[in-house]
Structure 1
Amino acid sequence: MEDLKMLKNVKVLYVEDEPITRKQVERFLKRRVGKVILAENGNDGIKQFIEQKPDIIITDLVMPDMSGIEMMKIIRNNGSKCPVIITSALSDSKTILDTVDLKIEKYLIKPIDINALLKCLNDIVIEELECNKNILVMDDEFILTDEKKNELELEIRNIYSKYLKKVTGKGAKLIQVFIKGKEIEILLKENLTVIEESLLLSGCEFTTIETVRKKVYMNTKSEIENNIGNLMNRKILLKKIEIYSKEKYERILFNIK
């Protein structure tokens, strides 16, 4: 079965506590999807989900800290409808019924059949595309090859790093850029300035830092929109700003027009 090119624009969170299985499936996924995020248990899976905002979750059922179902209950309770594939050595009707209640799209019995996993991923992407067109970055005038996508993501990262230093006085320890569908997602970590760090240590509210940063970004958004837009020869519009100063983490979304 041929891989769908659409998978190259998809971000997958894989939660598995068993190291050998995790490494094997990671190798398989890295050759087929745009980005793989790994988590070793349920708590780590929740943390990575909040930070990375994956398009699809693949999770083991039985894990030491919490089950895959318990993890998904927490994620679902926060309003997420992210498609999920459950993997497990168990096969019982009660477990399968629980996953149906949580709107789990697929249930695979271990050892994982790689072809079956690929089919599940392809089916989910096709279903998502029928609901919205946000997974693909393709139209009649704008088609990204894997090489071009990687090149653009690197250049956008450099552009955003320079912009960040200009408007706040400091860059970020980590900047990740991911183009998916008609969106550009930028993730930032450890980018608080010395003044912001000092304010937090002195008891300043996290929300105060977050409000000020959002105002700075909104007041200068035309600059970064134009810079990225000129690079891609498309109109770019700021869509969403998420700032979590306590976790020293930010997520910025842009629409590609």
Structure 2
Amino acid sequence: MTEKKTEPMTVLKQLNVLYVEDDPETRQELAIYLKRRVGRLRLASNGTEALRFLGERPPHLIITDLKMPEMDGLTMIKRLREKGWEMPVIVTSALSDSETIIEAVGVGIVRYVVKPIELEELLEQMNQVAQEIIKKEKCLVVLGEQCLETADELAEMEIKIKKEVTHFMKTTTGKGPRDLHVSLTAGRIEIRARGCLTRLEEGILVNRRHYSLVDYHRRLFYTENQQTLTTCLSQVTGCPVKLREVVCDSRKDQEKLVLEIP
């Protein structure tokens, strides 16, 4: 029996979201957009109704308007903080509410989106918040909008990175590494390689001298070709990648690369 391969879940698909908005048209319009992108969506028309939902099942994230009848957004945020709920809050509000927004920052909102809501901007804000939530709650590796949920998914991504780095070395130097290990953690890719020296570099070291020269040459190689390397890895991981550290030890024919995932 072969297991059917499934696509990794996006970060937002793992979240329960509560959206609080008193205007029915605005609430319905945004709800249609959000339902396709989050794991579970609940709707409330004011702060009082939202607090009742919080008691039933606390969401991971709250998106709320500020000006609403019965209980406004600011009062709602204050109440939920008093009750010990620390879930992040994204406020949607008009520019004229700037003083209220400043006050809301003081009670713990994490983002705000100006009305009329730009959907792409809201989605970007939600993704940033969601990544932090998932990292804290599940200690998973998040790559852009993709979340690696299992050890198998993590291992599969490490294999893809390994193949890409091996191909990069072979095509740019004419020789692939004898051994290469990839470790992918939150915000970081660490690559350790052995047996990377070219025949020319091995010839320079034949008398067991000039190690510093070869080390310098290897570091220079990665510096000059980092754009090619990071572009390839960005395509594999689906998010920006930056080369942060290169350590070369030609005596042992070992190298370490550290790349950052913002």
Q: Which amino acid letter does the alignment assign opposite residue 20 of structure 1?
A: E
1:115 paired with 2:120, answer yes
Partner of 1:139 in structure 2?
A: 150
Q: Which has the larger radius of gyration?
A: 2
Per-residue CA shift, 1:73-115, capped at 9, x if unaligned?
0000001110001111243442222111111011111111100
Could you tell me whether the CA contact under 8 Å between 2:47 and 2:73 is conserved in 1? yes
For the pair 1:13 / 2:18, whether they are aligned, the reply is yes
Provide the alpha-carbon RMSD of the alignment: 2.1
After TM superposition, the runs of 4+ consecutive aligned structure 1 residues lying more than 4 A away are 134-137
Gaps in structure 2 of 5+ consecutive residues: 1-8, 141-146, 155-262
Q: Are 1:75 and 2:91 matched, yes or no?
A: no
1:190-201 equivalences in 2 (<5 Å)? none
Distance 2:44 2:137 in 1: 28
2: CA distance between counterparts of 1:93 and 1:10? Answer: 29
Residues 1:132 and 1:98: Cα distance change in structure 2 (over 3 Å) = same
Q: Given that residues 9 and 137 in structure 1 are in contact (C-alpha distance below 8 angstroms), is that contact kept between their aligned partners in structure 2?
A: no
Quickly say closer, same or farther: Cα 1:38–1:139, change in 2 above 3 A.
same
Question: Is this contact kept in 1: 2:17–2:61, CA < 8 A?
Answer: yes
- Structure-2 separation of matches of 1:57 and 1:114: 16
Give secondary structure in 1 for the equivalent of 2:151: coil
**1:118–1:43: structure 2 CA closer, same or farther, 3 Å change rule?**
same
Specify which of 37, 55, 59 is matched with residue 54 of structure 1.
59
Instruction: Point out where structure 1 has 5 or more consecutive residues left out of the alignment.
Output: 144-257
| Offset, 1:137 | 7.9
> Is the CA contact (8 Å cut-off) linking 2:11 and 2:134 kept in structure 1?
no
Mapped contact 1:15–1:42 kept (Cα < 8 A): yes
Out of 78, 82, 86, which is 2:91 matched to?
86
- 1:1-257 paired onto structure 2 within 5 Å: 5-133=10-138, 138-141=149-152
Distance 1:134 1:18, change over 3 A: farther
TM, length-normalised to structure 2 = 0.50
1:133-192 deviation digits (Å, cap 9, x = unpaired): 26868111489xxxxxxxxxxxxxxxxxxxxxxxxxxxxxxxxxxxxxxxxxxxxxxxxx
Structure 1 Cα separation of the partners of residues 46 and 98 of structure 2: 24
